Amino acid sequence: MKSQLSKILLIAMLTLGVASYAAAQATIQETVPGGELELEWVSGFGVPLLLTGETLESGDVGYDNPSGDHTVLVLENNPPMMGGLGMAMTNPGDTSDYVWEGWVNTGDASTRRGLLFRGNPEIQFTTSYQFVLEPGLLQLKFRKMTGHRSQDIVAWYTSDTPSGMPGENEWHHLKVEARGSNFRFWYDDYELTQGTPVEDTDLLSGWVGILNFRYNLGGVQVLFDDLMMTDLGVVATTNESWGSVKSLYR
């Protein structure tokens, strides 16, 4: 009896161990090792993808990045004739609920910049949510893009964070937890939503990405680093393959 019980416990422990390992590995990340991109990225709205991996040199803006390896993503926005949009999206895999986070450099604060999530690959990501720093760096916003119309859902101001809004040429960490129709947000590890999620039911699944936008100004380069998505364990209702998405851009 004891022998059988021991075997059962051993099997259970091994099963839990495998499950824990699988959960721990259920992430995607972009750390730009050696200045090269790890993930496959695509743009949206039919505009070119202006995303590169680079190794910064001493004296460059953003050189002292948080990881200390001086390798970053550089996302440039397209010219005004293409809407001033710079976006890069990647597939989160077979999940709709996740944590999406990363570092963004404020640069000269001339564009809207930050994280995209729940982007729809079937319509060239013309719908998505945004968690962004606004131009001038006076606000953080949770926004929703549907087609060519955008809507502010929540805005946070200087008084809403312990450290206030950032200055120019600084690195700051943005993080969003998307769980069903509930969303929580962090800025430099401070939870803006204070444990009470913001609810929006329009976009329940989709890809993750980054944004750099200003409609009347192009050629602005924004630095990102150490982007990571953690799977919260809910399988998406639909999941587009890379082949089907790439066919939209031919």
pLDDT in tens, 139-153: 999 999 998 889 999
User: pLDDT category, 234, cuts 50, 70, 90?
Assistant: low
Closest CA to 128 of 172, 176, 173: 176
Q: State the DSSP string of 182-244.
A: EEEEEETTEETTTT--EE--S--S-EEEEEEE-TT----EEEEEEEEEEE-S---S----HHH
User: Per residue in 13-57, pLDDT tens?
Assistant: 334 343 333 343 448 999 999 999 999 999 999 999 999 999 999
- The 3-state DSSP class for residue 85 equals strand
* Domain regions of the chain by residue span: 26-234
Closest CA to 113 of 104, 122, 121: 104
Lowest mean pLDDT among 142-151, 170-179, 239-248: 239-248
| CA 24 vs CA 20, 27, 61, 227: distances in Å | 6, 7, 34, 16
Closest CA to 121 of 52, 234, 208, 224: 208
What DSSP character marks residue 42?
B
Closest CA to 90 of 210, 176, 175: 210
Query: What pLDDT does residue 147 have?
Result: 85
Query: What pLDDT does residue 16 have?
Result: 38
Question: How much is the pTM?
Answer: 0.84
Q: Mean of the pLDDT values across residues 214-232?
A: 97
The answer to whether 223 touches 88, Cβ cutoff 8 Å, is no
The answer to whether 107 touches 169, Cβ cutoff 8 Å, is yes
Which run of H or E residues covers position 10?
Answer: helix 2-25
Cα separation, 95 vs 164, in Å, equals 34
State the CB neighbour count (10 A cutoff) for residue 181: 13
Query: What pLDDT does residue 9 have?
Result: 37
Owner of token pair 């999941």: 239
CATH superfamily of 26-234: Exo-inulinase; domain 1 (2.60.120.560)
> For residues 85 and 5, which has the higher predicted lDDT (pLDDT)?
85
